[in-house]
């Protein structure tokens, strides 16, 4: 089974950036955790600071995977373009946020992407990605 994890702007700084909000674990460390926990799942992590690159990835590659995890960072709250691209991707999709976006500033409580995802995990730190993989794996196994 193949899962694509798409991360947006500033998530490359995770581990160093505001650790009280986003945690101390980097995506390199998460990748190792995923390999240990889910050796049978082929997980690709992709991060970009550019909105258009997220859209290109959704359009050109996402459907080659069996499941998608998306954390579009701040673009979550603003990007109708990513929402439109996401709507066309017909595989199981989960939105993940490291922080609890509903307990933060008002402007973070809106997600343009949530209506086009099967679910949303927020506030569990890097564990949110592991929970997302667990869900997608179970769904794939029971398809």
Binding site for ligand DQA (CB under 6 A): 10, 71, 73-74, 76, 97-99, 101, 108
Backbone φ and ψ for 43, nearest 5 degrees, come out as -105, 125
C-beta closer to ligand DQA: residue 48 or 71: 71
* CB 31 to ligand DQA: min, Å: 17
- Single out the catalytic residue among 50, 65, 97, 137: 97
Backbone φ and ψ for 57, nearest 5 degrees, come out as -65, -45
User: Rounded to the nearest 5 degrees, what angle is found at the Cα of 100, between the Cα atoms of 53 and 133?
Assistant: 60
* CB 17 to ligand DQA: min, Å: 8
C-beta closer to ligand DQA: residue 12 or 44: 12
C-beta closer to ligand DQA: residue 108 or 139: 108
* CB 108 to ligand DQA: min, Å: 4
Largest Cα separation within the chain, whole Å, is: 40
Q: Select from 97, 98, 38, 90 the least CA-distant residue to 64.
A: 90
Indicate if 97 belongs to the active site: yes
User: Rounded to the nearest 5 degrees, what angle is found at the Cα of 100, between the Cα atoms of 22 and 53?
Assistant: 65
Token duo for residue 95: 């939105």
Indicate if 22 belongs to the active site: yes
- Single out the catalytic residue among 22, 65, 116, 129: 22
Residues annotated as catalytic (active site), given as ranges:
22, 97
């Amino acid at each position: 089974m193949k899962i694509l994890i798409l991360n947006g702007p500033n998530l490359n700084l995770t581990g160093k950036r505001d650790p009280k909000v986003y945690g101390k674990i980097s995506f390199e460390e998460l990748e190792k955790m995923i390999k240990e926990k889910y050796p049978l799942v082929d997980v690709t992590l992709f991060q970009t600071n550019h909105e258009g690159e997220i859209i290109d990835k959704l359009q050109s590659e996402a459907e080659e995977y069996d499941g998608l995890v998306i954390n579009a960072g701040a673009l979550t709250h603003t990007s109708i373009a990513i929402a439109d691209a996401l709507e066309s991707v017909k595989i199981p999709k989960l939105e993940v946020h490291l922080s609890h976006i509903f307990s933060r500033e008002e402007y973070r409580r809106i997600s343009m992407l949530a209506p086009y995802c099967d679910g949303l995990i927020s506030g569990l730190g890097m564990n949110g990605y592991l929970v997302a993989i667990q869900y997608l794996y179970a769904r794939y196994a029971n398809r």
